[in-house]
Amino acid sequence: MQEYDAIVVGSGISGGWAAKELCEKGLKTLVLERGPNVEHIKDYKTASMDPWEFKYHLANPMSDVAESPIQSRVYNQGSKHFFVNDSQHPYIQDTPFSWVRGYQVGGRSLTWGRQCYRWSDLDFEANAKDGHGVDWPIRYKDIAPWYDYVEQYIGVSGNLEGLPQLPDGKFLPPFDLNCVEADFAQKTKAKYKDRIVTIARVANLSRGWNGRGPCQSRNLCERGCPFSGYFSSNAATLPAAALTGNLTMIPNSVVVSLIWDAKKSKVTGVTVIDAETKQTREYFAKIIFLNASTINTAAILLRSVTKEHPNGIGNASGQVGKNLMDHFTFSGAKGEHPGLKDNYYQGRRAFGIYVPRFRNLGPDSMRTDYVRGFGYQGAGQRLGWNEKMGADDFGAGFKESISTPGPWEMILGTYGETLPNEKNGITFDKDKKDQWGLPILHISLEYGDNENAMRQDGIKTAVEMLEAAGMKNVSIMDYRNPPGSAVHEMGTARMGRDPKTSVLNEHNQLHEAKNVFITDGACMSSSGCQNPSLTYMALTARACDFAVSELKKMNL
């Protein structure tokens, strides 16, 4: 029997943090990753390749689209190897849902968008105030020190803005706005008292930090960064865990379920299927951290059926697998700046601007058609050769045409909050199994009236803001991409105050199994409108600190 102090399921954003914290606190920790190993730098095979070195010049062939209709919308040939093959990892869309996955050591920390925003009490109190979902069992003061801790380790660049709805953090120097973004920011500030335009807060290093970086502004982040210029499990937390000598990493390990010991009345380990040999193994530990990602973490709980837990361990409330959320995106507006044509920029910065939430903050900003709010993410860019590739010109004229940049364009995209709803979630198919003999998942998530009203306001207001800043030829964006497209899936094992209506308590512990912790997106009780990964990391560090303290007190 293989025993450890702790088991961490998953090695992505939150799993990597759990591994680091537990190992550094002296626990012999096993990390189980369902995908293959990826070694930092060594396995970033495409990181320095030019487009012409790829068979299809980065474009995805039709065979990829046929085999992976979901993932191929996200990857190109430079990053394909960090995403699953949809045909090999099927699921059933009861309603359209894009489930983007990266099964390898490091998970989606290798391909994430890196935007890092704190939540405020506006977010943590929202459920209690408007009656959607259940009240969060924590408030900003509970997590603020852990935001500090995480930011100072991963390195987040950004500006201090002094906004109550978007608390400032411990930031590295910000990257610069380009000229059209700076012009848009200035004109927005002059026009509106309730909104600002700031550089995105990102885990891209504006200077060397903790032995990593800085960011080289190559905009090739999704291939893995050989400069460690952005935070990933592979570049930071997993190496830190390994340095302690307390880490054991076993890739290709598909966790099936938790092991319940009826005599001890507790979870004692996990059952695993080897992804390659299909053989079953068991591992045991004093504490378990489930960080397999929102949907897979819920699936593990639901598969953990015992006599004492007929609906799955942790599911006495019936809430496991429910309340799935994702931010709605791909709506907004864009417009052309009439000037600045003698300006250009250097490098290929991998991110743009952020407009923090300004709706439903107080009496002057309240809406009657929806609750909660949205922020904008966008960028200013110089239109160039790719807009001219369909031209009829050829030869020297064509070459000159595509080497001359076009006008500046400013884009504003809505990132809106999705309300928790028990109708949105996952279930198992009774008849269909995957290649490991596990039931295939059904996924359902539909946006409701609140999200649709918010989207329409986001589009209308983006047009208004661009026109107020002097943009010309302003046009709306309303692509109606399916839920999941933001890759911010949350919910399915929510935190709460009452075991009858929630799955986890204020310490991210299962109500029914105090030695099991969940700190990935599954734990979220609401979605906010900010990118969620920074909150996952802070909750993980906080839960690990509590877990080790309780372990030492012999309370687990």
The tens digit of pLDDT for each residue in 271-323 reads: 999 999 999 999 999 999 999 999 999 999 999 999 999 999 999 999 999 99
DSSP type of residue 18: H
Average pLDDT over residues 530-538: 98
58-71: average pLDDT: 96
Distant-in-sequence contacts of 71-78, Cβ < 8 A, 24+ apart: 71/100, 71/101, 73/98, 73/485, 74/100, 74/111, 74/487, 75/222, 77/46, 78/46, 78/49, 78/54, 78/220, 78/222, 78/223
- Label residue 355 by pLDDT band (50, 70, 90): very high
pLDDT over 60 (residue 397): yes
Mean pLDDT value of segment 483-496 = 98
Task: With beta carbons less than 8 A apart as the criterion, state whether 6 and 285 touch.
Answer: yes
CB 408 within 8 Å of CB 383: yes
> How far apart are the C-alpha atoms of 127 and 246, rounded to whole Å?
40
Residue 396: its H or E element: helix 395-402
Task: Band the pLDDT of 390: cuts 50, 70, 90.
Answer: low
Name which of 50, 5, 47 is nearest 24 in CA terms. Answer: 5
**Does the pLDDT value for residue 386 go beyond 60?**
no
Candidates 197, 215, 191; CA nearest to 410 is 197
Place of tokens 């309300």: 419
Cβ-in-10-Å burial (0-12, 13-18, 19+) of 449 comes to: exposed
The pLDDT assigned to 385 comes to: 56
- The answer for residues whose C-beta is within 8 angstroms of residue 452's C-beta and 6 or more apart is none
pLDDT at 394: 67
What's the mean per-residue pLDDT of the chain?
96
Residue scoring higher pLDDT (256 or 343): 256
pTM of the model: 0.96
CA distance 372 to 30: 40
Burial class (CB in 10 A: 0-12, 13-18, 19+), 238: buried
What is residue 383's predicted lDDT score, i.e. its pLDDT?
83
Q: In the prediction, which pLDDT does 388 show?
A: 52
pLDDT of residue 453 exceeding 80, the answer is: yes
Q: pLDDT digits over 97-127, tens only?
A: 999 999 999 999 999 999 999 999 999 999 9
> What per-residue confidence (pLDDT) applies to 2?
85
